[in-house]
Amino acid sequence: MDGVRVTIEGLDRVAAAITALANPRIYDAAMRAIGEQVRFRIARYPGPPKYPLRWASRKQAFYVKNVLRKNLGPYVRRFDPMSQNLGQSWAVAQEGRRTFVGTKVTYAQYVQSAEHQQSFHADTGWVTDEQVVREIIKSGVVHDILCDALHRAVK
């Protein structure tokens, strides 16, 4: 391989772009844009439920059907007195170089966490955090945001 020489032109621009992405403004803007895509999708209230609802236990079904409804009347999403307005509560925050999408709603993990979502919340149409991340990656929006950041860094 002594006499073979390969030259790749433009690597200096790629290296400069990668270095420029260390610029907090470009990087943070890209991460915030991705976070906003996650927030937008996870915050959507679902449509009508798919019946029959699956309950984790008879105790859970009894509690929801009898105790809550007897005391509060029929459940109406977003207008129930016990609701903390999950959909509207999602927010994007940045601390240092990290971007977070989160909520302070106490029951959020049982509604939208892939690890802890109760079956009846899936039946009522709530998407999980993992579903949302897969959706935005599949849609190409993450790729587009990162390419845009790379183009801005190259300029």
Least confident of 14-18, 81-85, 106-110: 14-18
Report whether pLDDT(153) > 50. Answer: yes
| Residue 96 pLDDT level (bands cut at 50, 70, 90) | confident
Specify the number of domains making up the chain: 1
- Asked if residue 2 is part of any domain, the answer here is no
What's residue 69's pLDDT?
64
Residue 51, pLDDT > 50, answer yes
Q: Looking at the domain assignment, is residue 55 inside a domain?
A: yes
Residue 139 lies in a domain: yes
Q: Which helix (H) or strand (E) holds 19?
A: helix 11-20
Domain that holds residue 56: 11-154
Confidence bin at 6 (pLDDT 50/70/90): very low
Report phi then psi at 46, rounded to 5: -75, 170
